[in-house]
Structure 1
Amino acid sequence: MLANAPTLIKIAIFFGVWMGLWMPIAVITALALNWRPPRPLNETQKLTLLAPLYGIAPLVLWKISQVEGRSFWDYGLAWRSEFFTSISIGFGLAVISLIVLFGFQFTLGWINWRQPHWGQSDQQSSGLNSDLPPENGWIRLGQKASILFPILLIALWISSTEELVFRGFLQKQLQQDYSGFVAAAIVSLIFALTHLIWEVRNTFPQLPGLGLMGMVLTFACFCNGGSLGLAIGLHAGWIWGISSLDTVVGVNPTGKVPEWVTGLAGKPLAGVLGIVMLLVVAGFLGIYFLSNFPVTF
């Protein structure tokens, strides 16, 4: 019966089953973490709640694919060298876009690097040049840098799951009833709004940027012939790059330009420059990939 159900019913069933399976686990986990909404989540609490949520999603989609009589891999995943090459290309493009974004702002003096691991007192007590961090500063910086690889694994896991759900399942389901562009707009809106689950105040200003990010990721799938590889790489690269920067160094606006230019509350997607970065990446995808692999969007 599910195989012949309307598209919107299938989507509603997916989210209903997904949330229904996760909610009891989430309640027990929240109680164990002594967390109650609407209090903000720290990173550890968020990951603890995220793990079962993202662990359940592929299982639900696998079961839906069985009921529909299709392969789970039809959602855009593949164990081929080209798939992993696309992930690598997307990841590299995302990291380069962030380097350009933050490098541009730093060059113009719009942001400063935060360096809390070495302060004035440390420099004076170490007897080193004031331009260099003391030895314990390097140690603390090294400790922070040591988590870059775990952040990479988390970024790949989050991006793979979200791309499977949004660009893999939802996009392909909606395209049965709508054009690719309309389906992408709907999926991107849902993608943006779901981020409000974790935090409303800081996420709300990012909604336009998150929606555009969803459109760019969908466009990446079209450019990649329906494969999720390029989108996963881009998504993971942006997560890893911003999370790593916040963890190891971090940035502070200097106040030379309004905060809405660099990003409200330090969030790039809540600023004009973050939006421009996404548009530039989309333009690059269009020029490079579509010129070699034309598709209909």
Structure 2
Amino acid sequence: MQEVYRVFFADFIALFELSPDLLLSSLKDAPVFFVVIAFFIVWVGCWLPIAALIAFALKWQLSKGFQPEQKLPLLVSLYLLAPFVLWGASWLTDTPFSDYGFISNISTLYSLGLGLALGMLSIAVVFSGQLWLGWCCFQWSNFKLVRPILLPILLVALFVGGIEELVFRGFLFTELQKDYSVWVAALISSSIFALLHLVWEQRETTPQLPGLWFMGMVLVLARFVDGGSLGLAWGLHAGWVWAIATLDTAQLIDYTGKVSEWVTGKNKKPLAGVAGIVCLLFTVGIFWVFSGNI
């Protein structure tokens, strides 16, 4: 295998020097993992100078470690680059964005809205059950904090959810399908999706890895339910982020400690517990019942 890749890279460099047309032809036939790795290297490589400028401009002292409040500007700058790098990958591999599930039509907007509603419904069902069982309590005094944060959090959720779906369920899953079966492509793309969350925070993310992996699998299923479009997966992803971020930011939920945090979610993160898995299973159940009408 090493010899195969060595020969490929040697041929790639030679083609780059001789003919752009031959280069494009070579990229179309390139090993999938080469295309995937190249995408992530270029994406991060383009972002690192921007991240350094942000850190310098905001006078961050990186020696003190990565702080949670530093995540948003870094995340936004990284994700703003993604469509441009994906456009380059699309052009080089001659793969239209529609193959990645990015289809600009009314049906996609309908699926996006449906996904948003389903995402929020699944969170509401899970937390309603926990409230009924006495595992948590609702802080009504903080409800006044919700109104001013709803729209900003929705916009962030739509942005983050859209980029992550385009990258992981769009580009990555589509590319992996070229060399692997649907199930293997789903397993690999969901694993990469989960593991890359460790980049931002390790302590709180590690217990969420199984939940994040399962979330990735459910979002792959959402793309199939939606006929290959990313609309439903995008809406679901954004709906979950919107609901959870709103609850956390407004501090609307307090846990009573009646059950283990592995049930409600380690570090108050639903995906790090049984509650998050139930939320995802509820979503799969909705797919099974209503997929014929989507």
| TM-score, normalising length: structure 1 | 0.86
Tell me the amino acid that sits aligned with residue 16 of structure 1.
I
Matched with 1:69 is: 94
The offset of 1:41, in angstroms, is 2.7
Identity %: 50
Residue type of the alignment partner of 2:112: I
Distance 1:163 1:5 in 2: 24
CA distance in 1, matches of 2:176, 2:216: 15
Task: Deviation per CA, 1:152-192: give whole Å up to 9, x if none.
Answer: 01100000000000000000000011111110010000000
Task: Note if 1:7 corresponds to 2:7.
Answer: no
Letter in 1 for 2:101: G
Partner of 1:232: 234
Matches within 5 A, 1:35-184: 35-36=61-62, 39-43=65-69, 45-114=70-139, 142=144, 144-184=146-186
**Gaps spanning 5+ residues in structure 2: where?**
1-25
**Which shows bigger deviation, 27-36 or 145-154?**
27-36
1:181-224 per-residue CA deviation (whole Å, 9 max, x = no partner) reads: 11001000000011111110001100000000000000000111
- Write out per-residue CA displacement over residues 35-67 of structure 1, whole angstroms, 9 at most, x where no aligned residue: 426734334x21100111001111011111111
Kindly state the Cα deviation for residue 28 of structure 1 after the two structures are TM-superposed: 2.3
CA contact (8 A) 1:191 1:210 kept: yes
Matches of 1:87 and 1:292, distance apart in 2: 15
Q: Point out the more displaced range, 244-253 or 101-110.
A: 244-253
| Contact 2:97–2:103, Cα closer than 8 Å, also in 1 | no
Q: Give the Å deviation of 1:116.
A: 6.8
Q: 1:248 to 1:147 in 2, by over 3 A?
A: same
The TM-score, its normalising length taken from structure 2, stands at: 0.87
**Cα gap change, 1:35/1:154 in structure 2, threshold over 3 Å: closer, same or farther?**
farther
Kept after mapping to 2: 8 A contact 1:41/1:198: no
**Alignment equivalent of 2:188, drawn from 170, 174, 186:** 186
Aligned equivalents of 1:292, 1:100: Cα separation in 2:
22
Tell me what 1:216 maps to. 218
**What's the counterpart of residue 279 of structure 1?**
281
Q: Provide the residue aligned with 2:269 in structure 1.
A: 267
1:231: how far off? 0.1
Return 5+ residue gaps in structure 1 as ranges. 118-140
Q: Give the secondary structure class of the aligned counterpart of 1:5.
A: coil
171 and 27 in structure 1: CA distance in 2 versus 1, 3 angstrom threshold: same
Q: Deviations over 1:111-146 (max 9, x none)?
A: 1234675xxxxxxxxxxxxxxxxxxxxxxx545521
Q: 70-79 vs 217-226, which deviates more?
A: 70-79
Structure richer in helix, relative to its length: 2
- Paired residue for 2:43? 18
User: What RMSD, in angstroms, separates the aligned Cα atoms of the two structures?
Assistant: 1.7
Measure the CA separation in 2 of the matches of 1:32 and 1:266: 33
Indicate if the aligned counterparts of 1:115 and 1:249 stay in contact, CA closer than 8 A.
no
Offset at residue 69 of structure 1 (A) = 2.1
Distance 1:70 1:234 in 2: 25
Could you say what secondary structure the match of 1:252 adopts? Answer: strand
**Following the alignment from structure 2 to structure 1, what is the Cα–Cα distance between the partners of residues 110 and 66?**
37
- SS of equivalent to 2:167: helix
Are the counterparts in 1 of residues 99 and 174 from structure 2 also a CA contact under 8 Å? no
Q: Which range moved further: 277-286 or 216-225?
A: 277-286
**Residues 168-177 or 250-259, more deviating:** 250-259
Deviation at 1:96, TM superposition (A): 0.5
